[in-house]
Amino acid sequence: MKVRLTRREYLKLTGLGGAAALLAAAGGCQSLGPPTEDGLAAGRYWGPLQRVRGVPLPALPISWEAATARVGEIFKAYAPHEIVFLLGLYPDHLNHLARLISRSLGGAGVLRFDAGSGFEARLTLLDACRKLYGYAGQPVFDLATPEVIFSFGASFTESWLAPAGAAPDGGPGAAFSRINPAAYVVQFEARRSPAAAFADEWIPVRPGSEAQLARALAGLVGGGPAWAGLSTAGRDLRAAERQTGVPARQLVRLARLFARAGRRLALPGGAALRAAGGLQAAQWILALNRLNTGSEDLSDFFLAPPGPLYPELASQPASAAEVSALVQNIELGRVKALFVHGVDPLAVFPHAYRFERALDKIERLVSFATYVDGISRRADLVLPDHAPGEGWGYQVPPHLADQGRVELLRPHGAPRFNTRATADVLLGALKASAGPAGGFDFQDERDFLSRSTAALDAGESAFRRLASEGGSNGWCYAEPRRFPPVTLQKPTREADGGLPPQVEGSPHEVYRLLIYPADGGVRRSSGPPSAEIHPSRAERSGFKPGDLALVRTAAGSLCVRISINPGLHPDALALAAAPDDLGDELGGRAGLSRPIDLAGLAQNGAGDLVVTGLPARLERPV
């Protein structure tokens, strides 16, 4: 039952007065920023807002002092296990601070993830390292020395995870710039990407079969008693051909090319790891780097040490399985207060995760969003953080992990609106709740940053300053630190994550779905998203460019417009997850309307979301 209040009663209930009350009475309680002539996005929040559940009025302004006190009341009102911080992967200093605050409160939950880490399958790669080497270290690949590089879907021409000695700015193409010009590059991938176009050879593989491909190549390259459990002749090699779509003769040729190289690398990319067998694929691809090298020193694959700041607080991205568990805990009433910063789970995860429905069970929802998103539209408190370039902080780039690089985030100008650093809000709320505990006595964000990075400037020769025109740009190790992995166990043949959900239809009618991240320039149009198929499948099915069709998986269906792409494996059906496709407003409560929703609840053995290799049918709309 909805509570109906007059505007006067609402202002009294929320404690608004003075200028805030005048603004609300004048209808000025809008959350959207001014026009874009100042270079600001239209959806930016002006300042802190609050709303009361069930009250049919828009969110109204609140002072920062009152907002901070409300957060402090939440800290006092709930047990630690009833509070969860849900963070993005940026910035790192906020993650460290949230974990320290969690300790001070007595053990609140902290999860962090974003769409990029999911499409890179970063957790799957780290989990594979833990299983093989006993240490979930960030993989580092020296691309400047190999004679042969086998890339399993690594986007090294764009922004890839961990190229050693990458360009100082660490931006897109950093890995590409480091590749040995004389290296022979082979790209195994279902869709011809920019990396495949750069490679000397592009080998189209059936989506989701990368684990079988890497296992077959490892058996051919390795041989010997250590790999006696895998026969590479006869039946097994023919099975690999059927599963991957790569002819057995070509597999043998490629294995010989790799085995005869003095220095070689196998790169596990997100396209291979975000399948049902992604964890298995990661293990076999990494294992290829350790086969018959003759000397451990000849390998160009390393593991990076823990980060230089708060290594005890180091956190992997949360898996889809962990997010699913969070939703269940919310629905069961175990989590009652949720703080969200830097990520919108309504946009990132399929509707099958029921995140939107679970929000109705949350008693206190606080968003620190700078711009309007699905979570902030539902939040009780909207406490906008500074926009990038307006605040302080630090970030530890994962692709420069061996450099121990800590990038200092500096403001380029004063905040344009009445925003406040989330760290300052949390620290103020902690003091208001019961005071700092256990020596936790940071005064504000600047104090936390100064004291956290003090060890890097304490005269230790291990670190050096990164200079820039505007002053220090951060710190890094004086010399890169990396070590070769020590193999604890070999990969096993057992498939991880089970088989993906099936759909009805003959093998000739079923495609293998490939959802890939589009570049930032791609935006969703008002019409259906584009679905790419190979010309041979289009000819056989009768589809023509521009035709409307229905993609159906075990999770549901999606209306698409057909596009013909010869740069695909014939069994692939490719859909781009463009940034605007991830907007919650496109999904709503009506059902599926985004490519990511076709994935449903499918997860691999590491708990990452499966968006590659899912069986799908392409039907004509009724």
pLDDT in the model for residue 96? 94
Average pLDDT over residues 114-123: 80
Q: Which of 496, 504, 500, 497 is nearest to 513 (CA)?
A: 500
Question: For residue 474, which amino acid is it?
Answer: G
Lowest mean pLDDT among 153-162, 208-217, 241-250: 153-162
The widest CA-to-CA distance across the chain, in whole angstroms, is 83
Averaged over 116-131, what is the pLDDT? 86
Alpha-carbon span 12 to 9, nearest angstrom: 5
Q: What is the pLDDT of residues 382-408, one digit of tens each?
A: 999 999 899 999 998 877 778 888 999
Query: Using 50, 70 and 90 to split pLDDT, how confident is the model at 177?
Result: low
Tell me the torsion sign for CA atoms 65, 70, 73, 79.
negative
Q: Give yes or no for residue 336 having a pLDDT over 50.
A: yes
Q: What is the per-residue pLDDT for 471? A: 58
CA triple 389-390-395, angle to 5 deg: 55
How confident is the model over 10-58, as pLDDT tens digits?
A: 445 444 443 333 333 333 333 343 433 332 345 889 999 999 876 766 7
Give domain limits for the chain.
Answer: 39-109+320-395+405-457, 119-303, 510-619
Residues 324-336 have a mean pLDDT of: 96
% of the chain surpassing 70 pLDDT:
77
- Encoded amino acid at 3, one letter: V
Asked whether residue 494 carries a pLDDT value surpassing 80, the answer given is no
273/268 Cα distance (integer angstroms): 7
Q: Model pTM? A: 0.85
Which pLDDT score is estimated for 325? 95
- The segment with the largest mean pLDDT, out of 97-111, 282-296, 386-400, is 97-111
At 504 the pLDDT is 55
DSSP 249: H
Question: Using an 8 Å Cβ cutoff, are 462 and 476 in contact?
Answer: no
Residue 435 pLDDT: 60
Q: Name which of 215, 168, 207, 178 is nearest 191 in CA terms.
A: 207
Domain 119-303, classified CATH 3.40.228.10, yes or no: yes
DSSP state of 163: B
In this predicted structure, the answer to whether residue 513 has a pLDDT above a threshold of 90 is yes
Architecture of domain 39-109+320-395+405-457: 3-Layer(aba) Sandwich (3.40)
Residues 540-563: pLDDT tens digits? 999 999 999 999 999 999 999 999
Q: What is the pLDDT of residue 367?
A: 97
The reported pLDDT for the residue numbered 38 is: 30
pLDDT of amino acid 155: 85
Predicted confidence (pLDDT) per residue in 423-459, tens digit = 999 999 999 887 655 557 899 999 999 999 988 877 5
CATH topology of domain 510-619: Barwin-like endoglucanases (2.40.40)
Distance, C-alpha 440 to centroid of its chain: 31
Of the candidates 176, 183, 181, 178, the residue with the CA atom closest to the CA atom of residue 150: 183
pLDDT at 521: 43
Which residue in this structure is represented by tokens 């906020």? 94
